Chain A
Amino acid sequence: MKYVLFICFLSIYFFVSCQSESSKFQKYTKELEIVFDRPALVINLDSCSSCYSVFFQSVKKFELKNYIIVVIAKESKKANLLSNSKNANVFHDVKNLAFNYQILESLPRIYLTDGTVIEVISPEIIDRFIDED
């Protein structure tokens, strides 16, 4: 009985935390005027100096799938070097609104419409996500 209660508690906890991550991202996308109907990759080039070099190839693959890409960078030039905002699925957050919603720490994340959040600690995680999708 104790274990059942514990598992129930854990499930509720994860459900609530997923909900809160998801709802924060919903509000964030609303503020950036993004229609969040597909997987979205968020990457911060200002807080992660090596992210451009490490993730460039994988971001391009993500872009080819027509998924959403949000690049956080104070310089719009820098954001464009990773993903050009002329592409309808690419958005730039030059004011770092992501910080207010606690969307990221320093490494990128993939947000899915079902509320799942994938921590991207290496480019292989993006590649694997694309392959499995």
Chain B
Amino acid sequence: MKRKYFINIYIALFLISCDIKNKNSLEYDYLKFLYDSVGVNLDDSTSNEFMRTQYLKSGEKEFLYHYNQFKNKIEKFDLETGLLVKTIGYPNDEPYVIKLVQGISVVNEDSIFLYPSLGIRGTILINDNGELIQRYLPDKTKDLEASLVNHISFGAQRTLIFGDKIYFIHYPLFEMSNPSNINSDFKFEVIYDTKSNKVEYLDESSFPIFYHNKIWPSNHLQVSREVNCGKWIYSWNMEDSILVIDKENENSTYTNAKSKFKNKEFEPFRMMPNNDQKIQFTLTNLKYYGIYYDQYRKLYYRTVQLPGSYQKRADAKLLDASRDFSIIILDDSFNIIDEVLFKGGIYNIYRLFVGEKGVYLPLNNPNYKGQKEDILHYHIFNFSR
């Protein structure tokens, strides 16, 4: 009996010490990669949210484009100085009106796409002076619901243009908590061919198989996509691996990109969850978020939100923003090189973009006290040093 008692105490002490070690091992190492910073100047009609942005390298210059909903215009910032270069209007009278701009894509200084919310029909292409180059009107469908395209078009789900085709990530309008909807029918990648004026879907872009027929909260069913050299890379919120579709060689593989901070598997709900249970799941489970390619260092970055805390009557948005996060760094063959841990409550993980100097993270996290209304600071991290 005494021996059994002793073994139990030993196991308990061992588990406690492991737990303490795990907690202690969470060392924030992001500051050693901090390389530079820039402050973007904001005028009286520009909020520091900077949600709908797009990076562009043009010649020797780098620009950050920002769709400003308060002005109904696009602002073009010099990324070196943070100064506003110009404000670009766009045709906004009938028949060109876009009631709600969902996002923008900037191919070059004279090719800026603006996408309407909930659809592709009405997308316009303008030049640097805001003059209309083209308006896109894919065929109308009789079924209103079928004509809706709930695309995101910013951040880690930005819309891309290759050749004559525009690639959107869109989300279903059906109830995502219903397990019978979680199958391979819905394709997340919508392709609009501007030449043929047809819309098609990418077959491989459906829910991962382990999601199928299970109950998950919709906030953990998002996908981020990056494209590089004919490879389409998908990062799902709950998938340790990333899906790499090689269009040229016509094959697709899952390759490991698991976070070292993941210590429990995702468990689906057994019964339909209420709203609080969904929020609790999202906040207390690790979440893979965005996938980004760094053309200057030939690296991929996968962002990961670490499990956070949940309080029933607290603001879920603030709890989410307080979560620590990490960036997994992968080489261009998708081998993990490193994973860097960031402290939560400072940077806004949803607004990350990559530039020539490195990874730009804005200091506009909702919990960050140092925010100012006339300037938005970005910290730039170089992970190749």
Chain A interface residues (CB < 8 Å from chain B): 46-47, 49-50, 52-54, 74-78, 81, 96, 99
Q: Which of B51, B100, B366, B373 contacts A77 (CB 8 A)?
A: B373
C-alpha gap A77/B99 in the complex (Å): 23
Q: A81-B45, A96-B315 are in contact. Are A52 and B70 (CB under 8 A)?
A: yes
CA distance A22 to B155 in the complex (A): 39
Most buried by A among B47, B315, B317: B47
Complex alpha-carbon distance, A53 and B69, angstroms? 7
Q: Are A75 and B48 in contact (CB under 8 A)?
A: yes
Which residues of chain A are near B348, meaning CB under 8 Å?
Answer: none
**What are 23 A-B residue pairs whose CB atoms fall within 8 Å in the complex?**
A46-B317, A47-B317, A49-B49, A49-B51, A50-B69, A50-B100, A50-B117, A53-B69, A53-B72, A53-B99, A53-B101, A74-B366, A75-B47, A75-B48, A75-B373, A76-B373, A77-B47, A78-B49, A78-B70, A81-B47, A81-B70, A96-B315, A99-B315
**A83 → B minimal CB distance (Å):** 13
Q: Does B44 contact A (CB under 8 A)?
A: yes
Q: Which residues of A contact B72 (CB under 8 A)?
A: 53
Task: Tell me the smallest distance from the CB of A29 to a CB of chain B, in Å.
Answer: 20
Q: Which residues of B contact A46 (CB under 8 A)?
A: 317, 366
Instruction: Say yes or no: A77 contacts B44, CB within 8 Å.
Output: yes
Contacting residues, chain A, for B48 (C-beta < 8 A): 75
Q: Contact residues of B with A, CB < 8 Å? A: 44-45, 47-49, 51, 69-70, 72, 99-101, 117, 315, 317, 366, 373
Given the complex of chains A and B, what is the CA–CA distance between A46 and B315 in angstroms?
12
A54 CB contact (under 8 Å) in B45, B51, B100:
B100
Write the chain B residue with the least CB distance to A73: B47
Query: How long is the Cα–Cα vector from A99 to B315 in the complex, in angstroms?
Result: 7
Q: Determine the chain B residues whose CB is within 8 A of the CB of A50 once the complex forms.
A: 69, 100, 117
In the bound complex, do residue A78 and residue B315 qualify as a contact, i.e. CB atoms below 8 Å apart? Answer: no
> How far in angstroms is the closest Cβ of chain B from A71?
13
Other A-B pairs beyond A50-B69, A81-B47, 8, CB < 8 Å: A46-B317, A47-B317, A49-B49, A52-B69, A53-B72, A77-B44, A96-B315, A99-B315
Closest to B315 in A: A99
Q: Which residue of B lies closest to A45 (CB)?
A: B47
Instruction: Closest A residue to B71 by CB, please name it.
Output: A81
Q: Which residues of B contact A76 (CB under 8 A)?
A: 373
Q: How far is the CA of A96 from the CA of B318 in the complex (A)?
A: 12
Write out the residue numbers on chain A whose beta carbons fall within 8 Å of the beta carbon of B69.
Answer: 50, 52-53
Taking CB atoms, residues of chain A closer than 8 Å to B315 are: 96, 99
Q: Which residue of B has the minimal Cβ distance to A50?
A: B100
Complex CA gap A50/B44 in Å reads 19
- Whole-angstrom CA separation of A75 from B70 in the bound complex: 13
A46 CA to B366 CA, complexed, in Å: 10
B16 to chain A, nearest CB (A): 37
Give Cα A46 to B318, complex, Å.
Answer: 11
Across-interface contacts of B49 in A (CB, < 8 A) = 49, 78
CB distance from A95 to the nearest CB of B (A): 11
| Nearest B-chain residue to A96, judged by Cβ | B315
Across the interface, which residues of B come within 8 angstroms of A77, CB to CB? 44, 47, 373
A95–B117 CA distance with the chains assembled, in angstroms: 30
A123 to B45, CA, bound (A): 23
Residues in B whose Cβ lies below 8 Å from that of A49? 49, 51
Contact, CB under 8 Å: A53 / B47: no
* List of B residues within 8 angstroms of A81 by Cβ: 45, 47, 70
B366: chain A residues at CB < 8 Å are 46, 74
B168 smallest CB distance to A (angstroms): 17
Q: Nearest 3 A-B pairs (CB), nearest first? A: A78-B47, A77-B373, A81-B70
CB distance from B97 to the nearest CB of A (A): 12
Q: In the assembled complex, which residues on chain B have CB atoms less than 8 Å from the CB atom of A75?
A: 47-48, 373
B90 nearest CB across to chain A (Å): 14
Question: Which residues of the partner chain B approach A78 to less than 8 Å between Cβ atoms?
Answer: 47, 49, 70
* Measured CA separation A40–B315 after assembly (Å): 23
Contacts of B44 in A (CB 8 A): 77
Contact B317 A53 (CB under 8 A): no
B residues less than 8 Å from A99 (CB atoms): 315
Within 8 Å CB of A96, what residues of B?
315
